[in-house]
Amino acid sequence: MQEIEKRYADLLVSYCLDLQAGEKLLVRTTTLAEPLVREVYRLAMRKGAQVVLDLKIREATRIYFEESNEDQLRWISPVHQMAMEEFDAFLVIRAPFNLREDQSIDPEKRKIRSEALTPINQVYSQRTADKSLKRCLCQYPTQAAAQEAGMSLEEYQHFVYQACKLHDQDPTSSWINVRKEQARIVAYLNKVKQMHYQGERIDVKFSVKGRTWINSDGQTNMPSGEVYSSAIEDSVEGVIHFDYPSIYMGHAVEGITLWVEKGEVRKWEAAVGQEFLDQIFTIPGARRFGEVAIGTNYNIKVPTKNILFDEKMGGTIHMAVGQSYLQTGGTNQSPIHWDMIADMWRGGKILADGKKIYQDGYFLI
């Protein structure tokens, strides 16, 4: 395990963040990820970086929301503010103790906190868009995540490391090859004006004219393997059903179907989690889309109720309601960004300006 953690740390520090001497790095995770954090810290220090570690304890978020008053909810950590405004790199390592510990948080307290964080989140979005802040989100295998995925911890460790190409002889070279292959796809899509997703219970059109498709090659997410953009906000029309379950704010929602007119979600249903979905669509900006994307990581073969992996799954598409990524040219603003995933293996296809470019899980271009 120590050897794989060294390989993981090298990929994160050297490839994902491309960390340089003198750069300031914030690492945020939980104490469960200590073995990986130790190796990240060691390598970052060797490279001459300035490193701040932020390791959360079990149930820290739940305790915070249970015990906080309004003044505490509106207080912003000066360390967090400085990192978002001035640091060069930000590494978030997901290492959950319990994936459900946040689901009973008072919605009103969550709303106040979200409002307080809005200015900092806007700075973060702008700096990641203009690349003055390098950031990477990754996963450390924990028992909670393994149980959510329906795997033993050992199986889940293999799943995570396989998805990140850590078993390859040279993981960095493998991700550079992903970059090259997806660059070809992105170059094609950046000339497209109209997209049309079709499949079982999917018939949705949208314009991407003037928008930028991004090659997600493992530098901002690890693992990655997707190409994504944003639709012209008022252009989305049709219906889309999302097959895969999604965990958001600690709530499991399954079998989501959205009906969209002039870019706005007008009607919605969920087989599981309808009440939570109803709450989400009361949030400003949540009824418009901030992202459209296609997953390309064929090492990820099964959904694990973890959006970091599930949205990258080869043979899937996803659309996110809420906040746009500024680097794509999107303009929708919202305190949320919720990715929803649909299977394309069973007759799914994508048309670009009327030409079929994707069929049954694979690009044809």
**Considering all CA atoms of the chain, what is the largest pairwise distance in Å, rounded to the nearest integer?**
56
| 279 touches 271 (CB < 8 A) | no
Last residue of a domain, which of 108, 140, 172?
140
Residue 155 lies in a domain: no
Chain mean pLDDT for the chain: 95
Please give the Cα distance from 251 to 30 (Å, whole number).
Answer: 20
Q: How many CB atoms lie within 10 A of CB 61?
A: 13
Whether 202 and 253 map to the same domain: the answer is yes
pLDDT-derived band at 86, boundaries 50, 70, 90:
very high
DSSP β-bridge partners for residue 221: 137
> Quick one: average pLDDT of 246-266?
92
Helix crossing, 34-46 with 2-10: angle to 10°?
A: 50
At 117, list the tokens. 């964080």
CB 82 within 8 Å of CB 123: no
Q: Give, in order, the Cα–Cα distances in Å from 219 to each of 136, 194, 215, 258.
A: 6, 28, 10, 31
Both 200 and 340 in a single domain? yes
Whether 85 shows a pLDDT value over 80: the answer reads: yes
Q: Kindly indicate the confidence band of residue 314, based on its pLDDT and cuts at 50, 70 and 90.
A: very high
* 89-117: pLDDT as tens digits: 999 999 999 988 888 889 899 999 989 99
Q: Does a structural domain hold residue 318?
A: yes
Given 110, 140, 170, the domain boundary residue is 140
Residues 289, 211 contacting (CB under 8 angstroms): no
How many domains does one find in the chain?
2
Rounded Cα gap, residues 110 and 217, in angstroms: 33
Give residue 199's pLDDT band: very low, low, confident or very high (50, 70, 90): very high
Distance separating alpha carbons of residues 224 and 295, to the nearest angstrom: 9
Residue 299 lies in a domain: yes
Strand partners, 359: 349, 362
In this structure, the strands spanning 134-139 and 89-94 are parallel
| Statement to judge: residues 109 and 204 lie in one domain | no
Quote the CA–CA distance of 299 and 320 in Å, as a whole number.
Answer: 22
Residue 68's pLDDT is what?
96
Write out the residue range of the structural domain in which residue 344 sits: 181-363
Q: Over the stretch 168-187, which tens digit does the pLDDT of each residue have?
A: 999 999 999 999 999 999 99
Could you tell me if 89 and 191 lie in one domain? no
State how far the Cα of 110 lies from the Cα of 296, in Å rounded to an integer: 34
What is each CA distance from 240 to 107, 179, 220, 330, 338, in whole angstroms? 28, 29, 27, 20, 15
- The last residue of one of the domains, among 140, 173, 189, is 140
**Residue in 51, 44, 47 with CA at minimum distance from that of residue 24:** 51
Cα-flanking dihedrals φ and ψ of residue 19, to 5°?
-70, 135
Has residue 351 been placed in a domain? yes
pLDDT of residue 252: 87
Beta strand 50-56 pairing with 89-94: unpaired
CATH of residue 122's domain is 3.40.1830.10
Residue 330 in any domain: the answer is: yes
Q: 3-class SS at 229? A: strand
Q: Which residues pair with 270 in a beta bridge?
A: 256
pLDDT band per the 50, 70, 90 thresholds, residue 31: very high
Q: How many residues does the structure list for the chain?
A: 365
* 153 in any annotated domain: no
Which residues, 6 or more positions from 275, have their beta carbon under 8 angstroms from its beta carbon? none
252 bridge partner residues:
247
**Same domain flag for 136 and 212:** no
Residue 1 clears pLDDT 80, i.e. is over it: no
Token readout for 45 is 């220090």
In a shared domain, residues 244 and 317: yes
Look at residue 301 and give its three-state secondary structure. coil
Distance between CA atoms of 157 and 251, rounded to whole angstroms? 24
> Domain check: are 198 and 126 in the same one?
no
What's the pLDDT score for residue 304?
A: 93
Q: Are 213 and 280 part of one and the same domain?
A: yes
Do 120 and 236 fall into the same domain? no
- Between CA 146 and CA 229 the distance in angstroms is 30
Asked if the structure places residue 176 within a domain, the reply is: no
Same domain, 44 and 193: no
Q: Which pLDDT does position 251 carry in this prediction? A: 87
Selection from 177, 165, 182 nearest residue 229 by Cα: 182
Give pTM, 2 decimals.
0.88
> Which of 17, 165, 14, 10 has the alpha carbon at shortest distance from 91?
17
How far is it, in rounded angstroms, from Cα 100 to Cα 96?
10
Same domain assignment for residues 205 and 120: no
CA atoms within 13 A on the CB side of 163: 32
